[in-house]
Amino acid sequence: MNCERIREIIITDYADGAVTDADARLIKEHLSSCRECRKFEALVQSSTVAPFQRLEREDVPPGIWDAIREQLPEPAPGRAFSLRAAVSRLFFVPRPALLALSSVSICVAAALLIYFHFSPPGASGGYNGTVQDEKMQYMAYIMGFSDTMSGRNQGEYSYIEEMFFE
Partner 1 sequence: MKFQLIYAQRGKTRFMHNNQTEEVIARASNGDLQAFRDIYDAYSGFVFNVALRVTRHREDAREITQEVFVTVHNKLKSFRYQSSLRTWMYRVTVNASLNYIKKHASLKSRTVAYDDALGSSYSRDYMAEKSEREHNEGVINRLLGMLTPEQRACIVLRSMEGLSYEEMADVLAIDVNAVRSRLKRAREKLLSVRKEVLENEL
* Site residues (vs partner 1, CB under 8 A): 8, 11-13, 15-16, 18, 43-44, 47-49, 51-58, 60-61, 64-65, 67-69, 71-73, 75-78
> 89 or 95: whose CB is closer to partner 1?
89
CA-wise closest residue to 146 among 87, 90, 102: 102
Q: Pick from 1, 3, 104, 163: which binds Zn ion (CB under 5 A)?
A: 3
> 16 or 166: whose CB is closer to partner 1?
16
Applying CB under 5 A, which part among 28-36, 98-106, 129-137, 139-147 lies near Zn ion? 28-36
- How far is Cα 17 from Cα 9, in angstroms, rounded to an integer? 10
> Burial of 109 by CB count in 10 Å (0-12 exposed, 13-18 middle, 19+ buried)?
middle
- How far is Cα 28 from Cα 103, in angstroms, rounded to an integer? 91
Q: How many CB atoms lie within 10 A of CB 22?
A: 8
Residue 3 touches which of Zn ion, partner 1, none (Cβ within 5-8 Å per kind): Zn ion
> 10 or 87: whose CB is closer to Zn ion?
10
